[in-house]
């Protein structure tokens, strides 16, 4: 993006106007205005997404890809238009490289169960990192137990930074895959994925990036990154739940066997044999999440309309402000302070367990996440059982951070 366009986007970002697009933000919780700081778990939905789904169900709904009747054709067209939006959003070379799944978890499982099971053998190595979400650990453990692959874990530093040199030392001629998060859901750390991809490719390994968090904050260009697989979920990108994406290079998808069998994924079937459908349908068995895919397309229109750079700048401002405000609270410790981190703020308080923090701030109408955030090995590495986590989305404001700060002061006073 040009500097000029970036400035136009920044000037144009009007958070109050954005908030009016999200009906749920007008509600109260426990008699207080809702402050929603849990977008990293799942983001709220703008009217544009709600309306896109409603329009389908009210006026256009039918099953896709099979019918020659009018509604079926409309829905097929809507769904393929959504796929094209995802393609453009990721700058993939072709819509054949965009597989619709249920979520990031299914996208990663698809790669493990198809590519992994087919192409990996005993002694092959898969590198993940200490800050992976369980969804990027367990599928590889399945493969380890089934095929005897070795799972290697790249370390993070005490501030939550990704240790590139230590990662580089793990690569060798047995490394077949690097499966790593683009952005940590606990620490906010943004992994230098361009370097990761370059180094992994030099070692002859493929790269899967877990983009569940990154995709909402950072413009992603899969061709520029040159990653082999990229996974994300619609629901964190202000789209519906039940729809996710796996991007994969076409040659890989071509070589991979189907993941699930059934309708939609075949060209022809006899009782003896079957031929697979073209990409990406080979990987989309069964009736897909039609309205959800269309809703995801609307969500992509929404965020690209605002501009990912503008959103990122707004959220960086919130993060900097929150860092400064929360630092003033006695006994509060920020977990994850890597340079360049994005809008997730984990913390502990010496006076209270994270669950107590969560319960008390909830009474003030504030939604934060507490617990292990589906990253128990990272909690072990950090030496904490749980953290409290405030995560910021495009609709959050500095005033809401003031409300959180006040509530956390209240927690400190309550527990003394
Ligand atoms: N990876 C990361 C980094 C995440 O934050 C999440 C969701 N918390 C996931 C994977 C899994 O996403 P989903 O539950 O939508 O499959």
Say if ligand 1 is within 6 A of residue 104 CB.
Answer: yes
> Average pLDDT of 234-239?
98
As a whole number, mean pLDDT of residues 353-376 equals 96
CB-based burial label for 304 (10 Å; 0-12, 13-18, 19+):
middle
Measure the CA angle with vertex 196, ends 190 and 200; round to 5°. 155
Sign of torsion over alpha carbons 161, 311, 347, 374: negative
What is the predicted pLDDT for the residue at 354?
96
pLDDT tens-digit profile of 149-203? Answer: 999 999 999 999 999 999 999 999 999 999 999 999 999 999 999 999 999 999 9
CB burial of 194-221 (b: ≥16 within 10 Å; e: otherwise) equals eebbebbeebebbbbbbbbbbbbbbbbe
Residue 342's pLDDT band, with cuts at 50, 70 and 90, is very high
Euclidean distance between the first and the last CA atom of the chain, given in angstroms as a whole number? 50
**Cα–Cα dist 31/364, whole Å:** 8
Ligand 1 contacts CB of residue 38 (under 6 A): no
Q: How far is the CA of 245 from the centre of ligand 1 (A)?
A: 12
Question: How far lies 148's CA from each of 56, 145, 247, in Å?
Answer: 46, 6, 27
* CB 396 less than 6 A from any atom of ligand 1: no
pLDDT digits 0-9 by tens, 121-146? 999 999 999 999 999 999 999 999 99
pTM of the model: 0.96
Ligand 1 binding pocket mutation candidate from 188, 233, 246, 391 (most atoms within 8 A of CB): 233
**Section 235-261 average pLDDT:** 98
Q: What is the pLDDT of residue 1?
A: 52
Q: In the predicted model, is pLDDT for residue 252 greater than 60?
A: yes
Helix axis angle, 290-306 to 47-55, nearest 10°: 150
Q: Which atom of ligand 1 is nearest to the CA of 41?
A: 8
pLDDT at 11 (0 to 100): 56
Q: Is the pLDDT of residue 2 over 70?
A: no
pLDDT at 408 over 60: yes
Handedness of CA 172, 223, 87, 95 (dihedral sign): negative
State the DSSP H helix or E strand holding residue 310, giving kind and residue range, or none if neither: helix 308-327
pLDDT at 106 over 70: yes
pLDDT score, position 5 = 53
With a cut of 60, say whether residue 396 has pLDDT above it: yes
Tell me how far apart the alpha carbons of residues 345 and 187 are, in angstroms, rounded to a whole number: 7
Confirm or reject: Cβ of 185 under 6 Å from ligand 1. Answer: yes
| 374 catalytic residue (yes or no) | yes
Residues 253, 265: Cα–Cα separation, whole Å: 13
The whole-number pLDDT of residue 67 equals: 78
Give yes or no for residue 8 having a pLDDT over 70: no
Would the pLDDT of 89 be above 60? yes
Q: Whose CA is nearest to atom 8 of ligand 1?
A: 41
Summarize pLDDT for 32-64 with one digit per residue, the tens: 999 999 999 999 999 999 999 999 999 999 999
Average pLDDT over residues 111-125: 98
Mean pLDDT value across residues 78-102: 98
Residue in 41, 100, 133 to alter for ligand 1 test, most ligand atoms within 8 A of Cβ:
133
Q: Which domains does the chain have, with CATH numbers?
A: 3-33+308-415 (3.90.1150.10), 104-233 (3.40.640.10)
């Amino acid at each position: 993006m040009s500097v000029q366009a970036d400035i136009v986007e920044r000037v144009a970002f009007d958070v109050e106007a954005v908030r009016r697009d999200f009906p749920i933000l007008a509600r109260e919780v426990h008699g207080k205005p809702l402050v929603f700081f849990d977008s990293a778990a799942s983001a709220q939905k703008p009217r544009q997404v709600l309306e896109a789904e409603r329009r389908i169900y009210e006026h256009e709904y039918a099953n896709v890809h099979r019918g020659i009747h009018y509604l079926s054709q409309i829905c097929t067209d809507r769904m393929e238009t959504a796929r094209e939006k995802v393609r453009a959003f990721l700058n993939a070379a072709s819509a054949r490289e965009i597989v619709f799944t249920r979520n990031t978890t299914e996208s990663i499982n698809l790669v493990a169960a198809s590519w992994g099971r087919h192409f990996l053998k005993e002694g092959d190595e898969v590198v993940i990192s200490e800050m992976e979400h369980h969804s990027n650990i367990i599928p590889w453990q399945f493969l380890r137990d089934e095929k005897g692959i070795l799972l290697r874990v790249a370390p993070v530093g005490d501030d939550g930074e990704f240790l590139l040199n230590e990662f580089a030392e793990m690569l060798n001629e047995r490394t077949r895959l690097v499966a790593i998060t683009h952005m940590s859901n606990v620490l906010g750390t943004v992994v230098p994925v361009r370097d990761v991809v370059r180094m992994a490719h030099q070692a002859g390994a493929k790269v899967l990036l877990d983009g569940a968090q990154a995709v909402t904050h950072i413009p992603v260009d899969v061709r520029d990154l040159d990653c082999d697989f990229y996974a994300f979920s619609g629901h964190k990108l202000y789209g519906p739940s039940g729809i996710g994406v796996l991007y994969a290079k076409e040659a890989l998808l071509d070589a991979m066997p189907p993941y699930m069998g059934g309708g939609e994924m075949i060209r022809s079937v006899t009782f003896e044999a079957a031929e697979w459908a073209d990409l990406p349908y080979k990987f989309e068995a069964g009736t897909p999440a039609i309205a959800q895919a269309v809703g995801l397309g609307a969500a992509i229109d929404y965020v690209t309309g605002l501009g990912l750079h503008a959103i990122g700048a707004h959220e960086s401002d919130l993060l900097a402000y929150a860092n400064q405000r929360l630092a003033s609270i006695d006994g509060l410790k920020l977990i994850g302070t890597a340079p360049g981190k994005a809008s997730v703020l984990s913390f502990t308080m010496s006076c209270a367990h994270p669950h107590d923090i969560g319960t008390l701030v909830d009474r003030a109408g504030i939604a934060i996440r507490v617990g292990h955030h589906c990253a128990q090995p990272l909690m072990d590495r950090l030496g904490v059982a749980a953290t409290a986590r405030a995560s910021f989305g495009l609709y959050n404001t500095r005033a809401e951070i003031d409300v959180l700060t006040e509530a956390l002061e209240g927690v400190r006073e309550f527990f003394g």
